[in-house]
């Protein structure tokens, strides 16, 4: 037996009912632009510690901010909190935070120092 011969070559498909056509996948939904948010690195008034602050959210509530903060904390491996409508993550984590915000549909902008 030749290694390139198919073991199914001798099978006959006559007499079988026609198969269902393969459905096309649904179109992927466009990611909704949820607005611009600012990512700021702050050090002043924090005892010399650096904190990444995400601010200027428009149209999202506290539960979603807390959910985003938890995801950022897990991804960065640091602590953080939501204070006064802003998300604060310990350390200079601007690049990682920006990627998470892009995935959530926001347009992050690095602002300030």
pLDDT of residue 48: 86
**CA 100/CA 72 separation, integer angstroms:** 7
- Give the fold, CATH level 3, of 36-111: Translation Initiation Factor Eif1 (3.30.780)
What is the structure's pLDDT at 6? 80
- The span from the CA of 55 to the CA of 89, in Å, is 12
Distance CA 104, CA 34 (A): 8
pLDDT for 47 beyond 90: no
Q: Is the pLDDT assigned to residue 3 strictly greater than 60? A: no
């Amino acid at each position: 037996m030749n290694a390139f011969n198919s073991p199914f070559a001798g099978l006959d498909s006559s007499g079988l009912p026609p198969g269902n056509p393969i459905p096309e996948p649904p179109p992927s939904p466009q990611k909704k632009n949820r607005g611009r948010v600012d990512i700021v690195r702050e050090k002043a008034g924090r005892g010399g510690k650096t904190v990444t602050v995400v601010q200027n959210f428009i149209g999202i509530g506290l539960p979603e901010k807390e959910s985003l903060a938890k995801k950022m904390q897990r991804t960065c491996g640091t602590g953080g909190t939501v204070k006064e409508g802003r998300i604060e993550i310990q350390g200079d984590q601007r690049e990682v935070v920006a990627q998470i915000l892009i995935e959530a549909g926001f347009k992050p902008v690095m602002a300030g120092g």
